[in-house]
């Protein structure tokens, strides 16, 4: 039986016959210690079918095959997709590995049970918010600044639209900071691993789409009071009558700034806005 979990990352890069292209946001994780720890953050998760976005030369793929029943890798680069099929031919033949060549933002995602991925930084936000609504746990690599904002609490400097949006779908925890030297070539920034655990929010919203538009709108003016933010961003939120929302809302909430409101506060305001602000668009 083929063993997995101990392939040398640098040797995998050599066998792939292709260096990372930083113009394509390729930075390969080559630190064995970090690679060996990543599966530990997925302990206790359902690993029947793990989705990996951006397999590259396959160092993380190798570690995932050691712990998961099945792995599907989505790889945009055709050369690396071909390499993965060759490098892990036994796993492909055993129906334990599927390599999908394509863009993770465009393809139809498989019915996975968890996602463990070293995401391409340029598309990490879009990919994360394609994965989170699926309601499956993840362990994802991001730029540290993004990770800190994703896991931030209300009232902190890092708290913002990203924090509220991520928290709408899952609890997010920064589990490890990863130095630049763990990658080849080295990125310009420090990275971090975030583990997300899906959950239902302890509030309700009239429409996920409207809630996200409302958040995007008011956080463009996070330094202003909510009173001004709601009035000034109707072109983003789609509100037809923002003054009606301001008049109907709690005065204390209207006097606060976005960075100090809890997700439940935003949900209450969005529900009110949906009801009295006559949004031009709304609903799923």
Q: 277 a known binding residue? A: no
How far CA 250 is from CA of 43, 70, 240, in Å, comes to 44, 51, 19
b/e code 183-196 from CB counts within 10 Å (16+ = b): bbeebeeebbbbbb
Picking from 237, 29, 241, 214, the residue whose alpha carbon sits closest to that of residue 121 is 29
261 annotated among ligand-binding-site residues? no
Torsion 220-223-226-232 (CA) sign: negative
Is the peptide bond between 95 and the residue preceding it cis, with omega within 30 degrees of 0?
Answer: no
Residue 5, classed as helix, strand or coil, is coil
27 appears as a binding residue in the annotation: yes
Q: Is 103 annotated as a binding residue?
A: yes
Rounded alpha-carbon distances, angstroms, from residue 109 to 102, 176, 197, 201: 11, 27, 19, 24
Is 280 marked within a binding site? no
CA distances from 263 to 113, 163, 184, 276 (A): 27, 9, 38, 20
Chain position carrying tokens 């996070």:
222
Which residues fall in the annotated binding site for S-adenosyl-L-methionine? Answer: 27, 29, 54, 75, 103, 118
Binding site, by residue number, is 27, 29, 54, 75, 103, 118
């Amino acid at each position: 039986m083929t063993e997995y979990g101990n392939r040398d990352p640098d040797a995998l890069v050599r066998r792939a016959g292709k260096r990372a292209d930083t113009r394509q946001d390729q930075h390969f994780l080559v630190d064995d210690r970090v690679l060996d720890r990543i599966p530990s953050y997925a302990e206790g998760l359902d690993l029947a079918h793990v989705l990996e976005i951006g397999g590259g030369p396959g160092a993380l793929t190798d570690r995932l095959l050691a712990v998961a029943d099945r792995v599907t890798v989505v790889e945009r680069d055709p050369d690396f997709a071909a390499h993965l099929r060759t490098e892990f031919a036994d796993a492909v033949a055993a129906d334990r590995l599927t390599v999908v060549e394509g863009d993770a933002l465009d393809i139809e995602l498989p019915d996975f049970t968890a996602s463990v991925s070293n995401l391409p930084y340029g598309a990490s936000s879009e990919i994360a918010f394609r994965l989170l609504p699926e309601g499956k746990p993840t362990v994802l690599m991001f730029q540290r600044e993004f990770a800190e904002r994703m896991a931030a609490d209300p009232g902190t400097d890092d708290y913002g639209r990203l924090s509220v949006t991520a928290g709408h779908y899952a609890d997010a925890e920064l589990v490890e900071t990863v130095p630049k030297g763990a990658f080849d070539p080295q990125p310009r920034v420090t990275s971090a691993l975030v583990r997300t655990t899906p959950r239902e929010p302890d509030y309700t919203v009239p429409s996920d789409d409207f809630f996200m538009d409302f958040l995007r709108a008011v956080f463009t003016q996070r330094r202003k009071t909510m009173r001004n933010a709601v009035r000034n961003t109707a072109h983003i939120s789609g509100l037809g009558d923002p003054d009606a929302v301001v008049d109907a809302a709690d005065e204390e909430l209207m006097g606060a700034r976005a960075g100090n409101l809890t997700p439940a506060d935003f949900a209450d305001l969005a529900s009110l806005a949906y009801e009295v602000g006559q949004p031009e668009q709304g609903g799923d």
